[in-house]
Every structure is written in structure tokens, then in C-alpha cells.
Amino acid sequence: MSRFRGIAPLLLAAAGAAVVVALVEGAGGDLSAWPDWQAIAVPAAAFAVPAALSAWATWRWGAAVALLAAVGCAAAQFALVFGVGFLALGYGP
């Protein structure tokens, strides 16, 4: 179980990035057709949930590690969404 806790932030970042890219692709490349609150809340939740879960998975190693895991997860997800999802695959705006 300890190995999973160590790689959980990366796995969760990859899963969250896949969700964000799928949302944008499903919306036709942008979220302008969605109501403003939904266009903000859904992608924000897609970033916040994996970060919170990675913090929860690494909490046993201390609060500082959990915070770093959450920030690292969000940063990795951001890089995956914009680097792979939008630039390499050509999705998004």
C-alpha cells in the first residue's frame, strides 16, 4: 500500500487531466456554451478533487508532505492538460 501512496499524486494527476481534456473535447473545444458558473466550477473541481485525494493519500507522512503532494498533483495535472491535451493533441481553444 505504501507504494501506491507514493505514486498516487501522479496517477491522480493523469486521471484528472484526462477528465479535463475529455470535458473540453466533449464541449467542442471550448466551454463557452456552458453557463458561466458551470464553466468555472466543473474544471475547478476536476483539478481540486485529484489534489485533495493525493493529499489524503499522503497524509500519513505529515501535513507538509500532503500539501506538497496536493500542489505537485495540481501542477502535474496542469502540465498534462495544457502540454499534452491542448498542444500535442490539438484540443481546446
The whole-angstrom separation of Cα 52 and Cα 63 is 12
Q: Say whether pLDDT at 13 is over 60.
A: yes
Residues contacting 42, CB < 8 A, separation 6+: 23, 31, 34
The whole-angstrom separation of Cα 56 and Cα 81 is 22
Q: Say whether pLDDT at 21 is over 90.
A: no
Q: Say whether pLDDT at 82 is over 90.
A: no
- How does pLDDT run across 26-70, given as a tens digit for each residue? 887 778 888 999 989 999 999 999 999 999 999 988 999 999 999
Burial of 59 (0-12, 13-18, 19+ CB in 10 A): middle
The whole-angstrom separation of Cα 46 and Cα 54 is 13
DSSP letters, 13-68, are HHHHHHHHHHHHHHTTS--TTS-HHHHHHHHHHHHHHHHHHHHHHTGGG-HHHHHH
Q: What is the pLDDT of residue 30?
A: 79
Q: Say whether pLDDT at 17 is over 70.
A: yes
Q: What is the pLDDT of residue 2?
A: 64
